[in-house]
Amino acid sequence: MITYLYWAAVIGVALFVFWGVGRYLRVKAGLIGAAIILIIGWGMYYFHYEQVFVKNFGGVMSIAVPEGQLHMQATWKDDNLWIENYDPKTNTCIFSEYSKGNLLEGRVKIKNCNPLMPKTE
């Protein structure tokens, strides 16, 4: 819900700039101003607000599990989402970080973790 309100506000501001600047100055300047507002709004959402909305206000975010891996768990550390998957082919647990804007993502691999099967002795 918060995501829809954010985009309604961004589009509303862009339309206001287009209408205000286009009516009193020039339509081309209004279009350029509205485009700049939309680009800045998209960049702010993608690089900052997406995970903040999901974590704090119940937004929506989709992540696909890589083919051949099994999803085990997910957890938040500050505003970054950490996903744990298991790759049965290599017997490796993979912790992947999804940070704001997918920048500075971390990855930790634990070899021979074998979490889904009991130890046989």
- Token match 């074998």: residue? 114
Band of the pLDDT at 35, cuts 50, 70, 90?
very high
- Where b means 16+ CB within 10 Å and e means fewer, 41-57 reads beeebeeebbbebbeee
- The DSSP call for residue 77 is E
For the chain, domain boundaries: 2-57, 70-111
Report how far residue 93's alpha carbon sits from residue 108's, in angstroms, rounded to the nearest whole number: 8
Q: Is this structure's pTM higher than 0.85?
A: no
**59 or 112, greater pLDDT:** 112
Q: Reduced to 3 states, what is the DSSP secondary structure of residue 42?
A: helix
Count CB neighbours of 91 within 10 A. Answer: 15
pLDDT of amino acid 119 = 57
Instruction: Give pLDDT tens digits for 52-63.
Output: 888 888 777 778
66 within 8 A of 85, measured Cβ to Cβ: yes
Report how far residue 26's alpha carbon sits from residue 17's, in angstroms, rounded to the nearest whole number: 11
Q: With pLDDT > 90 as the criterion, what percentage of the chain qualifies?
A: 15
Nearest residue to 28 via CA among 18, 38, 41, 20? 18
